[in-house]
């Protein structure tokens, strides 16, 4: 996913964290994405092909038209995207957003996304095999750096489409690149999605005793996904909620 954060889940029991009492339902998060319009090496327009290792991601199309290209063990697929279309995909699905006309999405993602670090770009094998080379290819937050990494990811994605037998090797290389972050991701899951599920269980248990005290603890939280400044994400410009300011 990269380094951009939509929400960083609070650690369990840490009431000092600004998100400790303001997690979005289910420990997920939302953001707005304006998909890149710059041209890619294969003559299309859009973002960087990549794969999430732990998060399911969902799109609700708000404006414009485009396509979602995916690559799985079942092969390549392309879905047309129009306003009010809803699509989601599970961990392990390589995906790429193509912007045909002013494509803008609401993105919903598990486990503290979007872009909380569980993604790997579809760079060519020579880059994936060298952690230092991979880090250098993903470094930088400028427009030119984002374009370079996007074009490199399109190059690798095109090769994978041509030879799907290489998917297994890509998966292995992706795991090797992120293996030292698995403990961190597990903590995000425990504090976010798992914590939310446990809280639902606690509420149910209290209601089953006939007590309504837990209902008095309900609060309203509000935030705003400001259009500026926008972050340069994998697929486009992100308008995220500043969860530290949510009350």
Query: pLDDT (tens digit, 9 = 90+) per residue, 75-99?
Result: 999 999 999 999 999 999 999 999 9
Of the candidates 229, 21, 193, 13, the one whose C-alpha atom is nearest the C-alpha of residue 113 is: 193
User: Any idea which architecture 25-203+220-239 has in CATH?
Assistant: Sandwich (2.60)
- pLDDT of 241 reads 75
Task: Tell me the per-residue pLDDT of 186-243, one tens digit each, with 9 for 90 and over.
Answer: 888 888 889 889 999 999 999 999 999 999 999 888 877 776 657 899 999 988 877 6
Q: What is the pLDDT of residue 21?
A: 46
Write phi, then psi, for 234 (nearest 5 degrees).
Answer: -70, -40
Structure tokens at 89: 């995909």
The H or E element that residue 106 is part of is strand 94-109
pLDDT at 3: 28
Entry pTM: 0.87
Q: How far is CA 51 from CA 57, 101, 119, 130, 159, in A?
A: 10, 24, 5, 18, 15
169: helix, coil or strand? Answer: helix
């Amino acid at each position: 996913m990269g380094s951009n954060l939509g929400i960083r889940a609070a650690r369990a029991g840490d009431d000092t964290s600004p998100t400790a009492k303001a997690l979005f339902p289910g420990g997920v998060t939302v953001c707005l994405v304006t998909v890149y319009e710059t041209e890619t090496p294969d003559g299309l327009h859009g973002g960087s092909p990549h794969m999430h290792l732990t998060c399911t991601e969902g799109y609700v199309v708000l404006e414009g038209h485009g396509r979602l290209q995916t690559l799985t063990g079942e092969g390549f697929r392309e879905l047309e995207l129009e306003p009010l279309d809803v699509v989601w995909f599970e961990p392990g699905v390589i995906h790429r957003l193509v912007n045909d006309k002013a494509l803008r999405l609401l993105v919903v993602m598990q486990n503290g996304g979007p872009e909380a670090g569980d993604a790997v770009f579809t760079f060519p094998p020579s880059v994936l095999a060298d952690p230092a080379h991979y880090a250098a290819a993903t470094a930088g937050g400028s427009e030119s750096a984002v374009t370079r990494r996007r074009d490199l990811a399109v190059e690798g994605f095109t090769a994978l489409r041509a030879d799907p037998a290489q998917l297994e090797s890509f998966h292995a290389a992706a795991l090797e690149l992120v293996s030292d972050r698995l403990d961190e991701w597990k903590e995000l899951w425990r504090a976010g999605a798992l914590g939310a599920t446990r809280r639902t269980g606690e509420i149910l248990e209290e209601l089953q005793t006939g007590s309504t005290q837990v209902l008095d603890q309900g609060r309203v939280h509000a935030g705003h996904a400001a259009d500026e400044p926008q972050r340069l994400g994998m697929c486009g410009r992100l308008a995220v909620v500043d969860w530290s300011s949510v009350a």
